[in-house]
Amino acid sequence: MLRAFKRVFDKNVRAGIALDGTHAGLARVRRLDDGSLSLAARVLDTAGGDEAWADRAASQATGMDLDRTPVSTVLSADAYHLRLVEVPNVPADERLAAIRWRIKDLIEFPLDDAVVELFEMPPHANPGDSPIAYAVVTKRDEVLQQIDLMKRVDLQLDVIDIPELCIRNIAVMLPQDKNGVAFLHFTDDCGFLTITRQGVLHLIRRLKIGRRALVDAADDQFTLQERAAGISLEVQRSLDYYESHYDCQPITEIILGPGTDLDALPAALTEHLGLSVNRITFDELFHLENDISSEEQAGCLLAVGAALRADTQVQPAELR
Query: What is the distance between the alpha carbons of residues 172 and 121, in angstroms, rounded to a whole number?
Result: 15
Q: Count CB atoms within 10 A of the CB of residue 149.
A: 18
- Residue 260 sits in a domain of what CATH number? 3.30.420.40
Write down which residue in 96, 119, 141 finishes a domain: 141
| Residue 133 resides in a domain | yes
Query: Beta strands 132-139 and 253-256: pairing type?
Result: unpaired
From residue 70, alpha-carbon distances to 56, 59, 83, 143 in Å are: 19, 17, 29, 17
Q: Is residue 229 included in any domain, yes or no?
A: yes
Query: Are 203 and 257 in a shared domain?
Result: yes
The answer to the question of residue 314 being in a domain is no
Residue segments in the chain with a per-residue pLDDT below the cut of 70: 1-9, 21, 47-54, 261-262, 311-320
Does residue 223 fall inside a structural domain?
yes
> Three-state SS for 212?
helix
Q: Which domain holds residue 87?
A: 77-141
128 and 180 fall within a common domain: no
Exposed/middle/buried for 44, CB within 10 Å: 0-12, 13-18, 19+?
Answer: buried
Residues 192, 112 within the same domain: no
Model pLDDT, residue 20: 72
Determine the pLDDT at residue 125: 82
What is the C-alpha to C-alpha distance for residues 230 and 214, in angstroms, rounded to an integer? Answer: 11
Q: Is residue 294 part of a domain?
A: no
CA–CA gap between residue 225 and residue 206 (Å, rounded): 20
In a domain, 25, yes or no: no
Query: In this predicted structure, what is the pLDDT of residue 163?
Result: 95
Query: Does one domain contain both 180 and 250?
Result: yes
Domain end: 123, 141, 159, which one? 141
Structural domain total, the chain: 2
Judge if 267 and 181 occupy the same domain: yes
62-96 exposure pattern, b = at least 16 Cβ within 10 A, e = fewer: eebebeebbbbbbbbbebbbbbebebbeeeeeebb
Verify that 132 and 221 share a domain, yes or no: no
- Whether 213 and 266 share a structural domain: yes
**Domain match, 199 and 273 both:** yes
Q: Is residue 2 part of a domain?
A: no
Give the end of a domain, one of 141, 160, 190.
141
- Domain membership of residue 136 (yes or no) is yes
Q: Is 187 in the same domain as 93?
A: no
**Domain check: are 90 and 136 in the same one?**
yes
Amino acid at 215: V
